């Protein structure tokens, strides 16, 4: 069994930790797999262009170095921690309207991917490249931030287009996704160290990128709430409602003890 987090940011976009620091943060806590998924913005919109200019997302110019560092750090992560590092990006379509905004995670990428175009075409392109697609925080994240409702509003049309939909982001569980029949995954959307306290995905497979991605596609996974005592700033009573929700919906066997820290 291995604990995994498939939505993590570094200083290559809007995260506060370098890629080596991210690797050590998770490796020292015994994680079996992570995916670093820095933002790629649209090239044709004002918001996308501004994000690239401000260094808040990857560009074609910065992507080769990003991939090179990911490869080097994946080797170090395996050597030191027996932890798999999967290369990824978060293709970010940001609009003034929350209902036109969408974020799509691509895991297992090998080359630069564009965030331009319709979301269905983007998801198709991800699969054509041998990667898997995840609908990131598709409902209200509960945070004071840009919301991304576009994918959820088209969920019936896009149900087969994505390999998984985030059922949780950070410490927030999404009841709408939880109660749906969509394939699911839980991640932290980590930007700073204290985001370690969050929902994570638990896998029972070989520690190899292909086996891990296959487990996501086949939904051979479960979810756990992970509390990181070193960086935790969340009060325990916040999660009491989550525990009730998990138990009342008969997800107890899948989610296990939501209070358990597996560090």
- pLDDT greater than 70 at residue 196: yes
- Contact between 196 and 228 under an 8 Å Cβ cutoff? The reply is yes
pLDDT in tens, 230-249: 776 543 333 323 332 332 23
Give the mean model confidence (pLDDT) for residues 6-25: 98
Domains of the chain from N-terminus onward: 2-255 (3.20.20.140)
- Under DSSP, the state recorded for 58 is B
66-75 burial code (b ≥16 CB/10 A, e <16): bbebbeebbe
78-121: pLDDT as tens digits: 999 999 999 999 999 999 999 999 999 999 999 999 999 999 99
Cα–Cα distance for residue pair 46/35, rounded to 1 Å: 28
Mean pLDDT value across residues 145-156: 95
Q: How far apart are CA 198 and CA 168, in angstroms?
A: 8
**Looking at residue 233, what is its pLDDT?**
53
Taking CA atoms, 181 is separated from 159, 165, 228, in Å, by 9, 10, 30
Is residue 193's pLDDT more than 60?
yes
pLDDT digits (tens, 9 = 90+) for 84-96: 999 999 999 999 9
In this predicted structure, what is the pLDDT of residue 145? 81
Q: What percent of the chain has pLDDT over 70?
A: 88
């Amino acid at each position: 069994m291995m604990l995994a987090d498939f939505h993590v940011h570094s200083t290559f976009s809007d995260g506060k930790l370098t890629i080596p620091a991210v690797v050590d943060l998770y490796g020292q806590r015994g994680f079996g797999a992570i995916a670093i998924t820095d933002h790629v913005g649209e090239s044709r919109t004002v918001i996308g262009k501004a994000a690239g200019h401000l260094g808040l997302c990857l560009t074609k110019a910065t992507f080769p170095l990003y991939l090179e560092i990911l490869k080097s750090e994946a080797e170090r992560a395996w050597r030191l921690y027996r932890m798999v590092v999967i290369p990824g990006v978060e293709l970010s379509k940001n609009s003034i309207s929350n209902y036109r905004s969408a974020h799509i995670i691509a895991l297992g990428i090998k080359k630069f991917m564009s965030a331009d175009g319709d979301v269905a075409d983007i998801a198709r392109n991800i699969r054509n490249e041998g990667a898997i697609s995840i609908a990131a925080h598709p409902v209200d994240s509960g945070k004071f931030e840009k919301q991304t409702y576009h994918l959820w509003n088209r969920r019936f049309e896009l149900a087969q287009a994505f390999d998984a939909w985030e059922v949780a982001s950070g410490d927030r569980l999404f009841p709408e996704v939880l109660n749906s029949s969509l394939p699911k995954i839980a991640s932290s959307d980590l930007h700073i160290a204290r985001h370690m306290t969050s929902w994570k995905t638990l896998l029972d497979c070989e520690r190899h990128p292909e086996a891990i991605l296959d487990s996501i596609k086949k939904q051979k996974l479960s979810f756990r709430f992970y509390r990181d005592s070193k960086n935790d700033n969340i009060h325990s009573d916040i999660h009491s409602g989550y525990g009730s929700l998990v138990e009342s919906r008969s997800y107890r066997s899948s989610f296990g003890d939501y209070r358990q820290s597996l560090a």
